[in-house]
Amino acid sequence: MSTTILTGQNFEATVTAGGIVLVDFWAAWCGPCRQFAPVFDAASTQHPDIVFGKVDTEAEQALAGAARITSIPTLMAFRDGVLVFSQPGALPAAALEEVIAGVRALDMDAVRAELAQQQRAPQTT
């Protein structure tokens, strides 16, 4: 499967649709982004059950800001609409495969229970 271009119009619907969604925040001028692109593209063909999306941070500055992107490339992983991984930096293929395996192995009932507990906890300022 090839990668999907994500924009402000389709980002939320894509990441909340269910299943696993990996998102690469990148820019054309970014050397590490250009290094990571073929790794990300290759993984998209090896894992056709996963949505691989790309956000051009230059074209989608509002989306990058809303996602709090401060360094690129940044990889985010969503599972069943929940952000479960976010890390800046270009990953080698083996590390990307580890991320994918980790996201696949998550117990999403436990993740949702932990999120619910965090939301109930009193907030300190």
| Catalytic site includes residue 106 | no
C-alpha dihedral over 12, 46, 76, 6, to 10 degrees?
-40
Sign of CA dihedral 55, 84, 72, 29: negative
Residues 6+ apart with CB under 8 A from 74: 24, 25, 67, 86, 87, 88, 89
The one catalytic residue among 20, 21, 23, 30 = 30
Considering the candidates 33, 37, 96, 103, report the single residue annotated as catalytic. Answer: 33
Contact (CB, 8 A) for 75 and 99: yes
Is there a contact between 65 and 36 (Cβ–Cβ < 8 Å)?
no
Active site residues: 30, 33
